[in-house]
Structure 1
Amino acid sequence: MNFALRIPDYYRQEIEALKGDVSINQFIISALSEKIASLRTEEYLQERANRSSRAHALSILKNAPDVKPVEEDKL
């Protein structure tokens, strides 16, 4: 599938600066792929959230041990 795409100059300059060694076409395809993945992930997480239960989550957390985190888990 082919599209004629008009890119404003300010986006074109940003693309040129950020694209590295790939073509503008590949850069745009990659950007589209990332956007689609982001939207699909958001949709998936929203569906999961809609099926969730606060009471169930709290019941799971109630079973968590009350201990300090190990060193590698600390921020």
Structure 2
Amino acid sequence: MTALTVRLPNSVHAKIRELAARDEISVNQFIASAAAEKLASMLTLDYLRQEATLGRREDFERYLNAVPDVPDEADKL
């Protein structure tokens, strides 16, 4: 495991302490979890962007045209 020094504004640190206490975890666990969530989000966006470059409009339209044109269940209520 790596140690990292991070400078935070006092207000941000106080809020992190408060939220970590509410979840009954340490400040370190809170920050590690937040960093992991951000990392997962960014990697997911990278993956989706990469996949989007492989897509073809004609394939999308073929699948879209295969969907039956029926009213939404919510519209029936």
TM-score, length-normalised on structure 2? 0.82
Alignment correspondent of 1:35: 38
Aligned residues: 72
1:12 to partner: Cα distance = 0.5
**Greater share of helix:** 2
Partner of 1:62: 65
Instruction: Give unmatched runs, 5+ long, in structure 1.
Output: none
Seq. identity, %: 35
**CA distance in 2 between partners of 1:6 and 1:60 (Å):** 50
Deviation at 1:69, TM superposition (A): 2.7
Alpha-carbon shift at residue 70 of structure 1 (Å): 3.4
Aligned twin of 2:56:
53
TM-score of the aligned structures, taking structure 1 as reference length: 0.84
